[in-house]
Amino acid sequence: MNLLLYGIIQIQKLSIIKLKYIYGNQLQELLNKGTETLQQNKAQKWLSDDRNNNALTLKDQEWANNIWFPNTAKVGWKY
């Protein structure tokens, strides 16, 4: 998978850089890992560089809106 995921714990921020367009299971794995990292470090901020990504598929949009976003908000994501 061509992506970089790293957490900056000192300032409680999660940063993601996508190195190529991803979708489906790869996107879900990345976002779920981000949520897990956010929770483990009690972070509230998420910075994502999406310049190399494209529009989400309808299936990915539905998953993100109905599953990922509510779960991530529950673990403390505010912005």
pLDDT of the residue at 3: 45
- Top-confidence residue, 6 or 36: 36
Q: Which amino acid is at 78?
A: K
pTM attached to this predicted model: 0.78
pLDDT of the residue at 57: 95
DSSP designation for 77: -
- 32-72 pLDDT per residue, tens: 988 998 898 888 888 887 777 788 999 999 999 999 999 99
- Tell me which long-range contacts 6-11 makes (C-beta under 8 A, separation of at least 24): 7/37, 7/38, 7/41, 7/43, 9/41, 9/43, 11/45
Residue 7, pLDDT above cutoff 60: no
